[in-house]
Amino acid sequence: MAGATYTRIYLHERPVADITPTTFKSEQLPLSSLVPGENEVLVKVHWLSLDPAMRGWLNDKRSYVPPVKIGETMRAGGLATVIKAGPGSELKEGDVVSTRPGMRCWTEYAVVKTKDCEKLVYPKGANMLDFLGALGMPGLTAYFGLLHVGAVKAGDVLVVSGAAGAVGSLVCQIGKKKGAKVYAIAGGKEKCKWLEEEVGVEKAFDYKDPKWKEEFKKVGYLDVYFDNVGGETLDFMLTRLKVGARIPLCGAISDYNNPHPKGLSGYMNLISQRAKIEGFIVFDYAKEYPAAISEMASWLADGTLKRKFHIVEGLDNAPKALPMLFTGGNTGKLVVKVSDPVNKDAAKL
Ligand SMILES: NC(=O)c1ccc[n+]([C@@H]2O[C@H](COP(=O)([O-])OP(=O)(O)OC[C@H]3O[C@@H](n4cnc5c(N)ncnc54)[C@H](OP(=O)(O)O)[C@@H]3O)[C@@H](O)[C@H]2O)c1
C-alpha cells in the first residue's frame, strides 16, 4: 500500500442557512498517516448515515454535542471494518463495527477509539444496514420517542409528521403494532401513496397540498402527535389535541436551515387540553437499547417491520446528498455507500 491515499471530507465554512457547495471540501491524504494508537483501531468505512441533526452540528451554538470544527472531518454514524487494531484494543482485524454518531466518518479510512465502536452482533434475520435503520438511531428514536415519551396505547389516534422518512416510517409501523390508529403527514403524492399502500397507515396527508389542513380536520382530535418537523405543522397540530394529548418533540426539520425560526401561536391549547409537549434525545435511553433492539429485531425477523433505504453511491456525493433531507429527496433512511464490505459474510448483506 506504499503511496496509497484516502479521501476525507471536512467542514470548510459554516452555512448561514442552507448547506451550500462550499460548506464542505475534500482532500486526499496518505494512508500511512493513519496509525492506530493505544486502544484505537484503523477502520475502513463502508456506509455512512446522513441525518438531519448534522445541520445542527454545523452551527457554532450550544447543543447536546459540540459543533463540528472548521477543518474537522464531518461527523456521522457509520459502519466499518477494522483493518488494524492498536495495542490494548478489544477489537481485532476483520471485526465489523458501527461507529457512534460522534465519530468523524466522512472519510474512506479513519482511526477511532475502540470505545467509540461497537462490534455488530446480528440478531436473527438482521443485516448490516439495519444497524443504520431499525436497529440503529432512527429505530431507537422512533421506539423510545413513541413508547416512552408519547406513551402511545391501543386505540390512540396517532399523527406522525415526516412520516415517509427514516424515523417517521418506523413510528408509523410501531404505532400500528401497538394498536394505534395512525395518520401520516408527508410531502407529495408518491410518499403518501407509499405510506397508505405499503406502510399501511389509515390515511396520509400531503402537507404541500394547500387544502390538507381542511381534509385533516375530518380525522377529529389526536392523542399523540409525533413531531419530526416543527414549525407550521406543529402549530396546526396544537389546535387538534384531545385532553391529555402527548407530543414527543423529536425534531424540527422545517426550521433547521432557518436562522430566525418563528414562535408557536397555538401553545395555549396545551393548557386548555392539559396536554404535554416533551423534547427528547435518543442517546438518553442508551441503557435500554438492548431491549428495544431485541423487540425491533423480532419484527424484522418475522417480516412485519418494513425497511426502506435511500442509497447514494460514493463518499464524494455525501455533501450533495445531505441537503436532500431538507428538500424531501429521500424516502426512508438516507445512507451513503462508501465501499464494499471487506468480508461479505461477516457483513451479512
Ligand atoms: N430527538 C432525537 O434524538 C432524534 C434522533 C434522530 C432524528 N431526530 C429528528 O427526527 C426527524 C426525522 O429524522 P430522519 O433521520 O428520520 O430524517 P428523514 O425523515 O428521513 O428525512 C427528513 C425528511 O424531512 C422532511 N422535511 C424536510 N423539510 C421539511 C419541511 N420544511 N417541512 C416538513 N417536512 C420536511 C422531508 O420529507 P417530506 O418530503 O415529507 O417533506 C425529508 O425527507 C428530524 O427532525 C431529526 O432531527 C431526532
Q: Each residue of 310-323: b (16+ CB within 10 Å) or e?
A: bebeebeebbebbb
Crossing angle of helices 289-301 and 137-144, in 10° steps, is: 110
The letter for the amino acid at 335 is V
pLDDT, tens digit (0-9, with 9 covering 90-100), for 247-290: 999 999 999 999 999 999 999 999 999 999 999 999 999 999 99
Crossing angle of helices 137-144 and 166-177, in 10° steps, is: 40
Residue whose C-alpha is closest to residue 347's, from 130, 90, 116: 130
Tell me the C-alpha distance between 328 and 330, whole Å.
Answer: 5
- Residues 151, 154, 158, CA angle at the centre, nearest 5°? 65
According to the model, what pLDDT value does residue 64 have? 87
pLDDT, tens digit (0-9, with 9 covering 90-100), for 162-175: 999 999 999 999 99
Work out which ligand 1 atom sits closest to the CA atom of 332: 20
Could you tell me the distance, in angstroms and rounded to a whole number, from the CA of residue 106 to the centre of ligand 1? 21
**In this structure, what are the phi and psi dihedrals at residue 207, rounded to the nearest 5 degrees?**
-70, -10
Tell me the C-alpha distance between 67 and 82, whole Å.
Answer: 27
- Residues 18, 19, 20, CA angle at the centre, nearest 5°? 105
Tell me the C-alpha distance between 26 and 104, whole Å.
Answer: 13
Tell me the C-alpha distance between 138 and 192, whole Å.
Answer: 20
CB of 191 shorter than 6 A to ligand 1: yes
User: Is 70 exceeded by the pLDDT of residue 342?
Assistant: yes
User: Is 70 exceeded by the pLDDT of residue 334?
Assistant: yes
**Grid coordinates belonging to 73:** 472531518
Topology (CATH) of 5-133+307-347: Quinone Oxidoreductase; Chain A, domain 1 (3.90.180)
**In this structure, what are the phi and psi dihedrals at residue 288, rounded to the nearest 5 degrees?**
-100, 5
Could you tell me the distance, in angstroms and rounded to a whole number, from the CA of residue 325 to the centre of ligand 1? 7
The letter for the amino acid at 172 is C
Could you tell me the distance, in angstroms and rounded to a whole number, from the CA of residue 279 to the centre of ligand 1? 15
The letter for the amino acid at 91 is L
Whose alpha carbon is nearest atom 42 of ligand 1?
328
Largest CA distance in the chain: 70
pLDDT, tens digit (0-9, with 9 covering 90-100), for 144-161: 999 999 999 999 999 999
Q: Give the residue extent of every domain in the chain.
A: 5-133+307-347, 137-284
Look over the chain and give the mean of its residue pLDDT values, rounded to a whole number.
Answer: 95
Residue to probe by mutation, ligand 1, list 167, 209, 326, most atoms within 8 Å of CB: 167
**In this structure, what are the phi and psi dihedrals at residue 228, rounded to the nearest 5 degrees?**
-105, -10
Q: What are the distances in angstroms from CA 123 to CA 91, 116, 306, 309?
A: 20, 21, 16, 19
User: Is 60 exceeded by the pLDDT of residue 349?
Assistant: no
pLDDT, tens digit (0-9, with 9 covering 90-100), for 33-85: 999 999 999 999 999 999 999 999 999 999 988 999 999 999 999 999 999 99
The letter for the amino acid at 122 is Y
**Grid coordinates belonging to 139:** 429505530
Determine the CATH number of domain 137-284: 3.40.50.720
Tell me the C-alpha distance between 286 and 140, whole Å.
Answer: 9
Whose alpha carbon is nearest atom 36 of ligand 1?
328
CB of 228 shorter than 6 A to ligand 1: yes
CB of 186 shorter than 6 A to ligand 1: yes
Work out which ligand 1 atom sits closest to the CA atom of 334: 20
According to the model, what pLDDT value does residue 341 have? 84
